[in-house]
């Protein structure tokens, strides 16, 4: 009986030791997993923190490198920010209005390549952009003319506005022959207008 008890005690001791070893190994494996998880989380945080710091430093450096362009004459004349503010139309002096009409005439002459390649979208955009402030410029520029020329000026200015409206209409269709026809009429009208203002 004593040998049986001794064997049972040894068996219990062995099982307890095995349980303790299993508990220790499971606790050590869980603690190692916790350490691994903590280390991984810490590494991720460090990586994200480094990435954000580097990105912000790059953005700040880029902001310091980019400088504002000097105030150009075109900013005073035309659209400062077409997408955000739509049209920026300051009250121009008559001389500035005459200069912008001359610039519009040059732009319309250089538009022929867009018509030749049938880039209708760009033609429409350009015409509408010019129409947006040409009305104001035509009224303001009339102050530079002597009283005797004003009646002829009004006639030519009205022809120009009508021809540009027809050009816009035919480019939207798009009808190629009529677009060219009204493009040429628009050029003739604006050239006559520039000749009067010169």
Side-chain-side CA neighbours of residue 94 (13 Å): 10
Claim to verify: residue 57 and residue 89 sit in the same structural domain:
no
Claim to verify: residue 36 and residue 115 sit in the same structural domain:
no
Last residue of a domain, one of 50, 67, 84: 67
Last residue of a domain, one of 67, 86, 101: 67
Could you tell me the residue range of the domain that residue 5 belongs to?
Answer: 1-67
Q: With bands split at pLDDT 50, 70 and 90, how would you rate the model's confidence at 106?
A: very high
Claim to verify: residue 45 and residue 128 sit in the same structural domain:
no
Q: With bands split at pLDDT 50, 70 and 90, how would you rate the model's confidence at 188?
A: very high
Quick one: pLDDT at residue 173?
87
Last residue of a domain, one of 43, 67, 91: 67
**Helix, strand, coil percentages for the chain (3-state, nearest 5):** 85, 0, 15
Claim to verify: residue 58 and residue 98 sit in the same structural domain:
no
Claim to verify: residue 63 and residue 81 sit in the same structural domain:
no
How far apart CA 196 and CA 177 sit, in angstroms, is: 29
Claim to verify: residue 79 and residue 118 sit in the same structural domain:
yes
How far apart CA 130 and CA 59 sit, in angstroms, is: 36
Claim to verify: residue 22 and residue 59 sit in the same structural domain:
yes
Quick one: pLDDT at residue 76?
53
pLDDT tens-digit readout, 34-70: 666 667 777 777 777 776 677 666 666 555 544 444 4
Claim to verify: residue 52 and residue 98 sit in the same structural domain:
no
Residue 136: pLDDT over 80:
yes
Q: How far is CA 89 from the centre of its chain?
A: 21
Q: With bands split at pLDDT 50, 70 and 90, how would you rate the model's confidence at 198?
A: confident
Claim to verify: residue 81 and residue 44 sit in the same structural domain:
no
Residue 72: pLDDT over 50:
no
Residue 83: pLDDT over 50:
no
| Number of domains forming the structure of the chain | 2
* pTM of the shown model: 0.55
Q: With bands split at pLDDT 50, 70 and 90, how would you rate the model's confidence at 2?
A: low
Q: Could you tell me what percent of the chain has a pLDDT over 90?
A: 27
Distances (CA, A) of 37 to 24, 29, 31, 33, 42: 19, 12, 10, 6, 8
How far apart CA 107 and CA 194 sit, in angstroms, is: 13
Claim to verify: residue 3 and residue 47 sit in the same structural domain:
yes
Claim to verify: residue 162 and residue 137 sit in the same structural domain:
yes
């Amino acid at each position: 009986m004593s040998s049986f008890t001794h064997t049972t005690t040894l068996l219990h001791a062995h099982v307890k030791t095995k349980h303790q070893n299993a508990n220790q190994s499971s606790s050590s494996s869980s603690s190692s997993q916790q350490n691994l998880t903590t280390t991984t989380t810490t590494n991720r945080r460090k990586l994200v923190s480094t990435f954000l710091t580097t990105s912000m430093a790059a953005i700040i450096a880029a902001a310091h490198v980019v400088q504002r362009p000097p105030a150009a004459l075109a900013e005073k004349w035309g659209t400062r920010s077409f997408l955000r503010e739509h049209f920026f139309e300051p009250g121009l002096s008559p001389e500035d209005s005459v200069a912008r009409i001359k610039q519009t005439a040059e732009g319309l002459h250089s538009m022929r390549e867009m018509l030749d390649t049938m880039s209708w979208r760009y033609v429409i955009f350009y015409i509408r952009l010019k129409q947006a402030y040409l009305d104001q410029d035509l009224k303001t520029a009339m102050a530079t003319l002597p009283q005797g020329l004003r009646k002829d000026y009004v006639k030519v200015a009205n022809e120009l506005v009508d021809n540009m409206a027809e050009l816009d209409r035919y480019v939207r269709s798009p009808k190629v022959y009529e677009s060219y026809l009204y493009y040429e009429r628009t050029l003739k009208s604006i050239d006559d207008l520039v000749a009067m203002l010169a």
